[in-house]
Chains A and B, each alone.
Chain A
Amino acid sequence: MMMQRRCLTMWRRSLSAGYRCFECRRGGPKGIWSSPAVRACSMPACPAGRITALEAIDLWKRCFEKRGVAEPEHSSQYIIAHLLGAKTIESVEQERLTEFLSQEQTEQVWKLCSKRLSSMPVQYVIEEWDFRDLTLKMRPPVFIPRPETEELVELVLADLQMKSGTQHTCLEVGCGSGAISLSLLKSVPQLKAFALDQSQEAVDLTTENMFRLGLQDRLQIHHIDVMKDAQSVLSLCSSVSALVSNPPYLFSEDMASLQPDIFRFEDHAALDGGTDGLNVIKQILTLAPQILSSEGRVYLEVDPRHPPLIRRWVEVNVEELQYVETRHDISGRPRFCILQKEKSNKDHELDLN
């Protein structure tokens, strides 16, 4: 017991002295250690004595605070809970939190928390995250689903469930990890979906998540850039009930001020929507009437400044689309735009010109 207390004191002293220590010997990942950013950071030594989960959480929380890592306490808690096989620290029994971690567990804690030191998002550190009732694999640089997007799914579901009974198809532009499509498919058993992304890595990750969730019989994933290859999108599907997207919508000038977690690790192409953030959005809306069935709807997640701009632009440029409404997110910001294709007597025929 005295041994452990002495070790703890040593770590605390070494932390405050900015002591430069070695990383854990066993299984140190090559990639992260060769990064100059990480080598420049000093980090606590992997303990010689034993440490409990609670002590590890506290130690790393303080380390993150010192290093200016965002959400120091949450980061520490999520990573260590994950290593204990739980999703949140609250769901771990008190006894387990005060038990000593094994040598292997301790090394794992050090390995993962060290990654977080470079501001790698927690979701990439633990390689997974939850979206609604799904657990999805996460991998840089594929965009990490945001909580606001859960609400986008709810909006689509509300409409789909009102029209229940009939077969529906949806198209997602910019699927990333597959969060939106997979979530819709899970909640609507009769739904079929198409998902596209311009990034091969996103297509691969969505594919992986699709198989993990056993939804491969109802989802088709395609590597298509909607900006460069509209024709491929149009030949893929028509008469879609819902066109959903969380497209890159940030203004280019805002990219530079993004927090390091995002700027350093997530695909900028999944974020940058151009000067006014509307590049991809406009393209989607232009193609929408040819993709949607009569009275089919577009659901977009956007920047809070966009809704009035989109409404005006659509009025002028996309005759067949009606702006239905703007919905707000949980923070009270205008966040979602819903538009509807006008009623037509026949299904839109493919324009092959």
Chain B
Amino acid sequence: MSELIPPVRILYNVCSRVIWRGPPSTPLLKPPTAGLTCVLTVGKKDLTNLPVLSEDELEEQFVRGSGPGGQATNKTSNCVVLKHIPTGIVVKCHQTRSVDINRKRARDIMREKLDVHYKGELSEVLMKKKEAVKRKQEQRRKANENLERKRLFKEALAADSEPGKGTV
């Protein structure tokens, strides 16, 4: 039997908001991420409708190679790999030369992917795409209308200025 309505699981509300993480009491698979308290990035994109990420559900890998790190290492590779454990979705980001920015962007991309994953057709990304397509169609329609109007106007002018008819 075909499904008419895509299953929309509003799971993201179950995730707790990211809060300031205290000192680790047990060894973690991944470290508590410093400073990533505010996931609702105030940036150019409007991300407020996207699912909130819980750092508990993320596994982050920084491809910097083995080696002591810190002052003892100078590597330029800064690819961040982010995995969302519950869904298995993986995001890789090496868009910039800053690890910090790549981490933030990876999280933004993850939120978009989770949105698509959970909401399907109704996700922000796909909705925006549809809107963009609609807008373009509307623009095209208006442009055609204008052209048509101009064409008719020209025709009317041509008809008026024919010899035999009075001109001003």
A332 within 8 A of B: yes
Q: Are B35 and A121 in contact (CB under 8 A)?
A: no
A190, chain B: closest CB distance, angstroms? 18
- Contact residues in B for A330 (Cβ distance below 8 Å): 31, 33, 60, 62, 99, 103
Assuming A88-B94, A91-B95, is B74 touching A158 (CB within 8 A)?
no
With contact pairs A71-B77, A133-B101, A147-B64 given, residues A254 and B72 touching in the complex (Cβ less than 8 Å) = yes
Partner of A70, one of B32, B70, B72, B75: B75
B69/A78 in contact, CB under 8 A: no
Determine, out of A55-63, A219-227, A288-296, A320-328, the stretch whose residues face the partner at the interface.
A320-328
A130-B97, A147-B99 known; A329 vs B74 contact (CB < 8 Å): no
CB contacts (< 8 Å) of B161 on chain A: these are: none
Task: Give the chain A neighbours of B22 by CB distance below 8 A.
Answer: 325
Q: Are B20 and A158 in contact (CB under 8 A)?
A: yes
17 A-B contacts (beta carbon < 8 Å): A88-B96, A88-B97, A121-B74, A122-B76, A130-B97, A144-B74, A146-B69, A146-B71, A150-B100, A153-B35, A154-B35, A250-B71, A259-B73, A262-B72, A262-B73, A266-B74, A330-B99
Known A250-B71, A331-B62: A154·B99 in contact at CB below 8 Å: no
* Interface residues of chain A: helix, strand, loop or mixed (majority): mixed
Which residues does B use to contact A, with CB under 8 Å?
A: 20, 22-24, 28, 30-37, 60, 62, 64, 68-78, 94-101, 103
Determine if A258 and B76 form an interchain contact, defined as CB atoms under 8 angstroms apart: no
Residue contact A271 to B71, C-beta cutoff 8 Å? yes
Residue of A nearest to B28 (CB): A332
For B66, the closest partner residue in chain A by CB is: A331
Shortest distance in angstroms between B61's beta carbon and chain A's nearest beta carbon?
A: 9
Closest to A70 in B: B75
Q: Report yes or no: B73 in contact with A327, Cβ–Cβ below 8 A.
A: no
Which B residues touch A331, using CB under 8 A?
31, 62, 64, 69
Closest 3 CB pairs of A and B: A154-B35, A328-B31, A147-B99
Judged by a CB distance under 8 angstroms, whether A249 is at the interface is: yes
Question: How many residues does chain A have at the interface if contact means C-beta atoms less than 8 Å apart?
Answer: 56
CA distance A342 to B76 in the complex (A): 40
Is A155's CB under 8 angstroms from B34's CB?
yes
Roughly how many angstroms separate A122 CA and B97 CA in the complex, as a whole number?
Answer: 12
Scan A310-351; emit 1 where CB is below 8 A from any B CB, else 0. 000000000000000111111111011000000000000000
Nearest residue (CB) in A for B77 is A74
**Are B76 and A155 interface neighbours, CB within 8 A?**
no
A234 within 8 A of B: no
Q: Residue among B60, B78, B98 with the most chain A CB within 10 A? A: B98
Q: Which of A122, A151, A246, A336 has the most CB of B within 10 A?
A: A151
- Which residues of chain B are within 8 angstroms of A249 by Cβ–Cβ distance? 70-71
CB-nearest residue of chain B relative to A150? B100
Q: Which residues of B contact A158 (CB under 8 A)?
A: 20, 34-35, 37
**Which of A158, A326, A332 has most chain B Cβ within 10 Å?**
A332
CA distance A169 to B31 in the complex (A): 30
Q: Among B28, B69, B96, which residue has its beta carbon within 8 angstroms of that of A130?
A: B96
Q: Is the CB of A250 within 8 A of B35?
A: no
Known: A74-B77, A130-B96, A331-B62. A258 touches B72 (CB 8 A): yes
Q: Is the CB of B74 within 8 A of A154?
A: no
CB of A115 within 8 A of chain B?
Answer: no
Say yes or no: is A181 at the interface (Cβ < 8 Å to chain B): no
Task: Report the bound CA distance from A301 to B23 in whole Å.
Answer: 16
Give bound CA distance, A143 to B35, whole Å: 24
Given contacts A158-B37, A303-B70, A329-B69, contact A150 B30 (CB under 8 A): no
Tell me which residues across on chain A come within 8 A of B24, comparing CB atoms.
Answer: 328
Beta-carbon contact of A329 and B70 below 8 Å: yes
Which of B33, B34, B98 makes the CB contact (< 8 A) with A336?
A: B34
